[in-house]
């Protein structure tokens, strides 16, 4: 039965981590994986999550029954409110549906599957070049023709804005565009507000469908509203859209798989129908979403004191990353490393696209035991006050030679 099944290639990120773990060099550095680490390079359990844990633990009424098919309403409502804003016109007009999903990936998958069934305008879906690898994987899996729109300009080390808009103009009417709501992965480059306005204008003219991927709200800038700006702007402009939300990074709930798909439609009547189909889809895919992570998020988002504390925890994480950006920039500048490095501090979120080439990345691994993806992307959370000097000197060496 299985003799024609070809071997699939190993996942790039997970095999990088395996290589790092197997490395016995005491100076080894892992800037491959996208998970937050403390300055001691340890995983971080948010203090507010620990408090919510205690609340759950002490709740004698808690059981392990199934959640509703579309998830716990207090959770999905709070998640939609978080991304769209308290005063969202779409929420007030009952044009928002939300479905609890298996983290961000599950949300993208649920949204993509729904579109593959009900979106009749186009079979083309555009992802940024480059993007997080799962965008292509998921959309291709459910039958979309996946195309790319220009995003990163290697020479400018920034956004290829005009080329991006041109591709949007040339794409067939009604194409689906996957947009990173904030903290673009892997480049760390986001459009400015003015550029988002330009993007919305072209997308509106061409009736394209925006599918936002929001994996870093609050984690990117430390400000939840700032990181939701683009999504809210599109809603204000009257777009119907999907937003895939992940609570992996901003709650540090990576393995708990807490996510949400927020859907904005044109009318409350449409919302009802879309939601009914989402429930039907969810039933056949996962039956019911997992409870634990969503309970933590639900508690925090619905308690003003805990919510305030969460914002402080977010500030700690985003500040540590911003500090590491500054520290790396200062060291490379002090070393006189050839090239310009201001993109390191201009970029935002977990990742920085350094501009290092695949052959430089290879030397960093072989000579310095520094692990990063071939595209030169580094996770800022893999750097600390303890390894930053070592890292900067290694980069300086490979850039010079």
User: Nearer to ligand PMP by C-beta: 34 or 376?
Assistant: 34
Q: How far is the CB of 258 from ligand PMP (least distance, A)?
A: 8
Q: Does 103 bind ligand PMP (CB under 6 A)?
A: yes
DSSP 154-212: TTTTEE-HHHHHHHHHHS-TT-EEEEESSS-TTT-----HHHHHHHHHHHHHTTPEEEE
Q: How far is CA 12 from CA 32, 129, 369, in A?
A: 9, 17, 17
Nearer to ligand PMP, 90 or 214 (CB): 214
Instruction: Write out the two tokens for 398.
Output: 């490979």
Q: Quick one: tokens of 271? A: 């919302």
For residue 150, give the H/E element and its range.
Answer: strand 145-150
The one among 113, 246, 347, 352 contacting ligand PMP by CB under 6 A: 246
By CB under 6 A, name the one of 113, 167, 175, 185 that touches ligand PMP.
185
Q: Tell me the closest approach of the beta carbon of residue 50 to ligand PMP, in angstroms.
A: 21
Near ligand PMP by CB under 6 A, which window of 41-49, 102-110, 192-200, 271-279? 102-110
- Which burial class, exposed, middle or buried, applies to 171 when counting CB atoms under 10 A from its CB (0-12, 13-18, 19+)? buried
Check 28, 77, 249, 365 and give the catalytic one: 249
Alpha-carbon span 314 to 24, nearest angstrom: 33
For the bound state, the minimum distance from the C-beta of residue 327 to ligand PMP, rounded and expressed in Å, comes to: 23
Q: How far is the CB of 104 from ligand PMP (least distance, A)?
A: 3
Active site residue 386: no
Burial class (CB in 10 A: 0-12, 13-18, 19+), 216: buried
- Select 240 or 256, whichever has its Cβ closest to ligand PMP: 256
- H helices of 286-352, in order, are 292-301, 304-335, 342-346
Stretch that binds ligand PMP, among 14-22, 100-108, 169-177, 369-377 (CB under 6 A): 100-108
Nearest residue to ligand PMP, by Cβ distance, number only: 104
Q: Given the complex with ligand PMP, which of 132 and 329 has the nearer CB atom?
A: 132
State how far the alpha carbon of 331 is from the alpha carbons of 11, 327, 396, in Å: 32, 6, 9
Based on the shown chain and the rule CB under 6 A, indicate whether residue 127 belongs to the binding site for ligand PMP: no
The span from the CA of 81 to the CA of 62, in Å, is 25
The answer to whether residue 373 forms part of the interface with ligand PMP (CB under 6 A) is no
Instruction: Tell me if 105 contacts ligand PMP by CB under 6 A.
Output: yes
Q: Which is nearer to ligand PMP, 368 or 371 (CB)?
A: 371
CA distances from 294 to 94, 101, 290, 355 (A): 23, 9, 7, 37
Q: From 103-111, 219-227, 384-392, 393-401, give the range in contact with ligand PMP by CB under 6 A.
A: 103-111
Site for ligand PMP in 4-63 (CB under 6 A): 34
77, 132, 152, 310: the catalytic one is 132
Tell me how far apart the alpha carbons of residues 260 and 394 are, in angstroms, rounded to a whole number.
Answer: 40
Residue with Cβ nearer ligand PMP (213 or 298): 213
Q: Is 190 a catalytic residue?
A: no
When asked if residue 376 is in the footprint of ligand PMP (CB under 6 A), the reply is no
Does position 104 interact with ligand PMP (CB under 6 A)? The reply is yes
| Nearer Cβ to ligand PMP (20/132) | 132
Could you give the CA distance from residue 196 to residue 159 in angstroms, rounded to a whole number? 12
**Minimum CB separation from ligand PMP for residue 283, in Å?**
21
CA 326 vs CA 10, 36, 37, 315: distances in Å? 34, 17, 17, 16
The one among 191, 259, 289, 376 contacting ligand PMP by CB under 6 A: 259
C-beta closer to ligand PMP: residue 217 or 360: 217
Residues between 206 and 225 that touch ligand PMP (CB under 6 A):
213, 215
> To the nearest 5 percent, what fractions of the chain are helix, strand and coil?
50, 15, 35
With a CB cutoff of 8 Å and minimum separation 6, the contacts of 2 are none
Please work out the total of residues on this chain that contact ligand PMP, with binding judged by CB under 6 A: 12
Active site residue 223: no
Question: 67 and 233 in contact (C-beta within 8 Å)?
Answer: no
* Catalytic site positions: 132, 213, 249
Q: Which residues bind ligand PMP (CB under 6 A)?
A: 34, 103-105, 132, 180, 185, 213, 215, 246, 248, 259
């Amino acid at each position: 039965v299985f003799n024609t099944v070809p071997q699939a290639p190993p996942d790039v990120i997970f095999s990088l981590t395996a290589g790092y773990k197997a490395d016995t060099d005491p100076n080894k550095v892992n800037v491959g994986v996208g998970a937050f680490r403390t300055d001691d390079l340890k995983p971080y359990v948010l203090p507010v999550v620990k408090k919510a844990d205690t609340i759950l633990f002490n709740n004698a009424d808690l059981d392990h029954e199934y959640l509703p098919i579309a998830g716990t309403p207090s959770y999905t409502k709070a998640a939609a409110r978080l991304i769209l804003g308290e005063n969202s016109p779409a929420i007030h007009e009952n044009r928002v549906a939300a479905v609890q999903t298996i983290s961000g990936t599950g949300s993208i998958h649920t949204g993509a599957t729904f579109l593959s069934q009900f979106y009749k305008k186009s079979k083309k879906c555009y992802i940024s070049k480059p993007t997080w690898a799962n965008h292509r994987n998921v959309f291709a899996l459910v039958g979309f023709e996946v195309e790319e729109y220009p995003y990163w300009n290697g020479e400018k080390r920034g956004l290829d804005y005009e080329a991006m808009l041109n591709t949007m103009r040339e794409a067939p009417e009604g194409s689906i565009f996957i947009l990173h709501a904030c903290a673009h992965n892997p480049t760390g480059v986001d459009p400015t507000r003015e550029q988002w306005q330009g993007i919305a204008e072209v997308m509106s003219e061409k009736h394209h469908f925006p599918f936002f991927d929001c994996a870093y709200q609050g984690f990117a800038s430390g400000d939840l509203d700032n990181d939701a700006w683009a999504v809210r702007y599109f809603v204000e402009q009257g777009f119907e859209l999907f937003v895939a939300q992940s609570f992996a990074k901003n709650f540090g709930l990576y393995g708990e798989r807490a996510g949400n798909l927020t859907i904005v439609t044109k009318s409350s009547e449409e919302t009802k129908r879309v939601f009914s189909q989402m429930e039907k889809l969810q039933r056949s895919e996962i039956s019911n979403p997992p409870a634990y992570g969503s309970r933590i998020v639900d508690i925090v988002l619905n308690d003003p004191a805990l919510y305030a504390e969460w914002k402080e925890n977010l500030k700690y994480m985003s500040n540590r990353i911003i500090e590491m950006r500054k520290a790396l920039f200062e060291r490379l500048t002090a070393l006189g490393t050839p090239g310009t490095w201001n993109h390191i501090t201009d970029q935002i979120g977990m990742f920085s696209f350094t501009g290092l080439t695949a052959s430089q990345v290879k030397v960093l691994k072989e000579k310095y035991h520094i692990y990063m993806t071939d595209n030169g992307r580094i996770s800022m959370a893999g750097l600390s006050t303890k390894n930053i000097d070592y890292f900067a000197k290694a980069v300086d060496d490979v850039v010079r030679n």
